């Protein structure tokens, strides 16, 4: 390749490099600022194709869409001096690129920190003039709307950003307070349970006493009836024995002796020492019961 062609190619390459470094594109979702030797010369550069001086100029781009950031959990006191742990987040966007760059140097993290500080102060003030019920359920939406309107005006002037919304994700009692609440609830439930147990024991004692009384009455009535029946049976038995004795005295004596023998000699281990001439053995010696 000839020297002239090489020079031409080098010149074309330099031109391409100069042109490419002189052109920049801002996306539709961003806005930019133009710096020359570090000094701000143009702000609010809109989306599209733009030109700059190579090497001398520098372009900074900022996302102007809605951004959301979680805020650190904070503890606030209500008007009743009750602490609450609050977890929240903010929605915001850059409204004035020029003011945003001048206030934060184009650092989104610094902007979030400044917003967080103002929101923290605002929430502390709002919680401090409301009861727990109002901040938890009653007036939360009203509280947030008022706070957003008040802070938005300030941060728009100071930071060039628009605060769109503040939302509370969770409101909880601190761990120490929760433990005290649970302990008190447990004590109340145990007290209520003890009352139910005492009432149940009292009812049980009444039922048991009534059952014992009824049992005593039933047993007494049954015993009285049994004694009556036993007396009637004994009377009938005595009558039968008397009739049997009158009809056949010998057979009656023989039958009673056999019954006595059966009762006496019911076990093989029984030992009885008795005179052989005893009347108890009269039917052992003679079936007629007479001694010879």
- The better pLDDT of the pair 209, 285 is held by 209
The answer, yes or no, to whether residue 193 has pLDDT greater than 50, is: yes
* Total number of residues shown for the chain: 292
pLDDT score of 129: 87
Q: CA distances (Å), 56 to each of 21, 53, 186, in order?
A: 10, 6, 73
Query: What are the tokens at 72?
Result: 């650190």
**251 phi/psi in degrees, rounded to 5:** -65, -35
Mean pLDDT, rounded, for 146-166:
90
Mean pLDDT, rounded, for 93-115:
91
pLDDT score of 278: 63
pLDDT score of 291: 42
pLDDT score of 91: 94
- The better pLDDT of the pair 269, 231 is held by 231
Q: CA distances (Å), 19 to each of 7, 12, 33, 160, 196, in order?
A: 18, 10, 20, 33, 90
Q: CA distances (Å), 53 to each of 22, 33, 37, 50, 171, in order?
A: 6, 14, 11, 11, 53
Tell which residue, 31, 162, 157, has the closest CA to residue 92. Answer: 162
In the chain, % of residues over pLDDT 90? 20
Mean pLDDT, rounded, for 5-10:
65
Query: What are the tokens at 188?
Result: 């109340």
Mean pLDDT, rounded, for 109-127:
91
- The better pLDDT of the pair 206, 12 is held by 206
The answer, yes or no, to whether residue 163 has pLDDT greater than 90, is: yes
pLDDT score of 69: 92
Mean pLDDT, rounded, for 184-201:
87
Mean pLDDT, rounded, for 10-36:
76
Tell which residue, 39, 40, 35, 38, has the closest CA to residue 52. Answer: 35
How confident is the prediction for the chain on average, in pLDDT?
Answer: 82
Report pTM: 0.56
DSSP class per residue in the chain: --HHHHHHHHHHHHHHHHHHHHEEEE-TTEEEEEEETTEEEEEEEPSEEEE--TTTEEEEEEE-S-EEEEPPPEEEE-TT--EEEEEEEEEEEES-HHHHHHHHTT-HHHHHHHHHHHHHHHHHHHHHTS-HHIIIIISHHHHHHHHHHHHHHHHHHHTSEEEEEEEEEEEE--HHHHHHHHHHHHHHHHHHHHHHHHHHHHHHHHHHHHHHHHHHHHHHHHHHHHHHHHHHHHHHHHHHHHHHHHH-HHHHHHHHHHHHHHHHTSSTT------TTSGGGHHHH-TTS---
- For the stretch 30-56, pLDDT in tens is 998 888 888 888 888 888 888 888 878
pLDDT score of 53: 83
Q: CA distances (Å), 156 to each of 92, 190, 230, in order?
A: 11, 56, 111
Residue 132's pLDDT band (boundaries 50, 70, 90)?
confident
Question: Helices 108-128 & 97-104, crossing angle to 10 degrees?
Answer: 90
The answer, yes or no, to whether residue 7 has pLDDT greater than 50, is: yes
Reported for 19-22, long-range contacts at CB under 8 A and 24+ positions apart, including other chains, are: 21/54, 21/55, 22/51, 22/52, 22/53, 22/54
pLDDT score of 119: 92
Query: What are the tokens at 164?
Result: 């769109």
pLDDT score of 55: 79
pLDDT score of 80: 87
Least confident stretch, 65-79, 197-211, 212-226, 237-251:
237-251
In whole angstroms, what is the distance from residue 82 CA to residue 227 CA?
A: 79
pLDDT score of 25: 86
- For the stretch 196-206, pLDDT in tens is 888 999 899 99
């Amino acid at each position: 390749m000839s020297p002239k062609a090489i020079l031409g190619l080098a010149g074309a390459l330099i031109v391409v490099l100069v042109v490419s470094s002189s052109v920049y594109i801002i996306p539709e979702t961003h806005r930019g600022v133009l710096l020359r030797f570090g000094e701000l010369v143009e702000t609010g550069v809109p989306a599209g194709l733009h030109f700059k001086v190579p090497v001398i100029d520098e372009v900074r781009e900022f996302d102007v869409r809605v951004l959301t950031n979680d805020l650190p959990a904070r503890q606030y006191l209500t008007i009743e001096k009750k602490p609450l742990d609050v977890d929240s987040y903010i929605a915001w966007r850059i409204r004035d690129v020029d003011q945003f760059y001048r206030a934060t140097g184009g650092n989104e993290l610094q902007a979030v920190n400044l917003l967080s500080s103002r929101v923290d102060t605002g929430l502390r003030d709002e919680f401090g003039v409301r009861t727990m019920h109002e901040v938890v359920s009653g007036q939360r939406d009203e509280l947030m709307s008022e706070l957003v309107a008040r802070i938005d005006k300030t941060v728009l002037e100071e930071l060039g950003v628009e605060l769109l919304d503040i939302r509370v994700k969770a409101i909880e009692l601190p761990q120490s307070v929760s433990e005290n609440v649970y302990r008190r609830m447990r004590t109340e439930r145990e007290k209520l349970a003890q009352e139910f147990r005492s009432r149940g024991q009292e009812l049980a004692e009444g039922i048991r006493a009534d059952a014992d009384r009824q049992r005593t009455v039933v047993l007494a009535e049954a015993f009285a009836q049994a004694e009556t029946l036993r007396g009637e049976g004994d009377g009938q038995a005595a009558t039968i024995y008397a009739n049997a004795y009158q009809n056949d005295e010998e057979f009656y004596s023989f039958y009673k002796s056999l019954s006595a023998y059966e009762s006496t000699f019911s076990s093989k281990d029984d030992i009885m020492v008795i005179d052989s001439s005893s009347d108890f053995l009269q039917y052992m010696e003679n079936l007629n019961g007479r001694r010879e």
